[in-house]
Amino acid sequence: MTVRRSRIDGYGVFADEAVLLGAKLGGLTGEAISVAEARRRAQGRQRIMLVELSASRAIDATRSADAMRFTNHSCSPNARIQVEDGRIEFFALRNLAIGDEITVDYGLTHHEGRLACRCAQPGCVGWL
C-alpha cells in the first residue's frame, strides 16, 4: 500500500498492486486507550484516527506507522474494517486495480453527523 494525496481528504492509502476480492489489505495498530479518552481526544478535531474495539477500549492510530491509518471514508467503499480479538484489519470488498484508493464506510463516528462527507459517490449520505 502507498500513501499519497487524496481527492477525498488530505492523504489516502492506495493499492500498489492488483488486489482480489476478499484479500487482506493490511492492519492498523496504535495506542490503546479507553473509549472515554478517545471521545475526549475527538472533541473539536476534524481529522481523527480512532477505532473503537469494544464498549470500553479504543485504538488511537494518530502516531501509527501503518499506512492503513490514512484510509478515508466512502459511502460506496471498496474495503471493510474487521475488528476481532483486539486486531484491526482491512479486507477488499471487490477487486482493486493498481492506484485505487482504499476506502471504508466509517459507520457511526465521533463527528456525530457534523462533518461533511467528501466521497462524491452516487448515493452519498452527505455527513459523517
Please check whether residue 12 lies inside any domain of the structure. Answer: yes
Q: Which residues contact 94 (CB under 8 A, 6 or more apart)?
A: 21, 78
Please check whether residue 66 lies inside any domain of the structure. Answer: yes
pTM of the model: 0.86
Please check whether residue 87 lies inside any domain of the structure. Answer: yes
Cα gap 42→97, rounded to integer Å: 33
- Say whether 4 sits in a helix, a strand or coil: strand
Cα gap 37→95, rounded to integer Å: 37
Please check whether residue 113 lies inside any domain of the structure. Answer: no
Please check whether residue 123 lies inside any domain of the structure. Answer: no
- Residue 33's domain comprises 2-104
Please check whether residue 68 lies inside any domain of the structure. Answer: yes
Cα gap 17→2, rounded to integer Å: 10
DSSP letter assigned to residue 75: S
In 3D space, the residue among 66, 65, 62 whose CA is nearest the CA of residue 32 turns out to be 62
Q: What is the dihedral of CA 12, 88, 113, 115, to 10 degrees?
A: -20
Tally of domains in the chain: 1
**Amino acid, res. 128:** L
CATH of the domain at 73: 2.170.270.10
Please check whether residue 126 lies inside any domain of the structure. Answer: no
Q: pLDDT tens string for the chain (128 positions)?
A: 999 999 998 899 999 999 999 999 999 999 999 989 988 888 867 677 888 888 899 999 988 999 999 999 999 999 999 988 878 999 999 999 999 999 998 876 655 667 778 888 888 888 88
